[in-house]
């Protein structure tokens, strides 16, 4: 059976779109370079994960209606406040709907770390979360080191001390000169 010429082109085009979508909206893999994440923060600044090389970054997906999310936010905030000056960066990405942005802003008034609406991501290689909360720890070399979830490894002060502090004391690998 022979395909119409336009159908072959359409299938090839669809394959390119699927591959591009997979790259743009993939998942973070432990031990591999973090995917792209560029998002406009609530204060209008741009958070660009690639520009954070040399720093340890916490990426926390949460929502206002999620009790476990709200429970871990004070520990995240205290940890960020304590270690920000030592090279720790953080972003809280709210999975709330657009119409709930005012509630997100209200909640974030109690916390000192940057936040953004997931819907405002220009690039989000982490994809949409399949559960909330979910927190990724990215080391100074841009490698995803840990994924924290309430069911497997919840965010607590102890957990953050165990998984993030060693990364803050490790210097990034030197990039070879050409």
Q: Looking at residues 94-105, what average pLDDT do you find?
A: 97
Phi, psi of 5 (to 5 degrees): -55, -40
Q: What is the predicted pLDDT for the residue at 128?
A: 87
The whole-chain average pLDDT of the chain stands at 85
pLDDT at 135: 97
Between residues 170 and 16, the one the model is more confident about: 170
Q: How is residue 9 written in tokens?
A: 């082109």
C-alpha to C-alpha distance for 24 and 22, rounded to whole angstroms: 6
Question: Is residue 29 a contact partner of residue 144, using CB atoms and an 8 Å limit?
Answer: yes
Tokens at residue 4, please? 């119409």
Confidence of residue 28 (pLDDT cuts 50, 70, 90): confident
Mean pLDDT to the nearest integer, 65-83: 97
List, for residues 56-73, the tens digit of each pLDDT value: 999 999 999 999 999 999
Token digits of residue 15:
């394959």
| pLDDT value for 175 | 54
Judge contact between 98 and 119, C-beta under 8 A: yes
Q: What is the pLDDT of residue 172?
A: 67
Q: Which residues contact 107 (CB under 8 A, 6 or more apart)?
A: 64, 70, 73
Please report how many Cα atoms fall inside a 13 Å half-sphere around the Cα of residue 71, on the Cβ side: 11
Q: What is the pLDDT of residue 174?
A: 59
Determine the pLDDT at residue 27: 80
Q: What is the pLDDT averaged over residues 130-146?
A: 96
Q: Which CATH superfamily is domain 28-169 in?
A: Glutaredoxin (3.40.30.10)
Q: Which two tokens stand for residue 68?
A: 């476990």
**How would DSSP label each residue in the chain?**
----HHHHHHHHHHHHHHHHHHHHT----TTSBPPPEEEEETTS-EEEGGGGTTSEEEEEEE-TT-HHHHHHHHHHHHHHHHHGGGTEEEEEEE---GGGHHHHHHHHTT--S-EEEEEEEEEETT-S-SSSSEEEEE-TTSBEEEEE-TTTS---HHHHHHHTHHHHHSPPPPPPP-
Spatial CB neighbours of 104, under 8 Å, sequence gap ≥ 6: 42, 64, 94, 96, 115, 117
């Amino acid at each position: 059976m022979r395909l119409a010429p336009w159908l072959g082109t359409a299938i090839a085009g669809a394959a390119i779109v699927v591959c591009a979508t997979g790259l743009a909206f993939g998942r973070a893999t432990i031990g591999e370079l973090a995917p792209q994440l560029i998002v406009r923060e609530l204060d209008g600044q741009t958070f660009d994960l690639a520009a954070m090389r040399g720093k340890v970054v916490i990426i926390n997906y949460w929502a206002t209606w999620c009790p476990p999310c709200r429970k871990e936010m004070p520990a995240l905030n205290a940890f960020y406040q304590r270690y920000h000056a030592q090279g720790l960066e953080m972003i809280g990405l709210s999975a709330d709907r657009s119409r709930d942005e005012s509630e997100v802003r209200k909640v974030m008034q109690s916390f000192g770390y940057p936040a953004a609406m997931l819907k405002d991501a220009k690039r989000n290689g982490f994809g949409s979360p399949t559960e909330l909360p979910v927190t990724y720890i990215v080391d100074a070399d841009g490698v995803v080191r840990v994924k924290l979830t309430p069911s497997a490894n919840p965010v607590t002060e102890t957990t953050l001390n165990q998984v993030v502090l060693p990364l803050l004391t490790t210097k990034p690998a030197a990039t070879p000169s050409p």
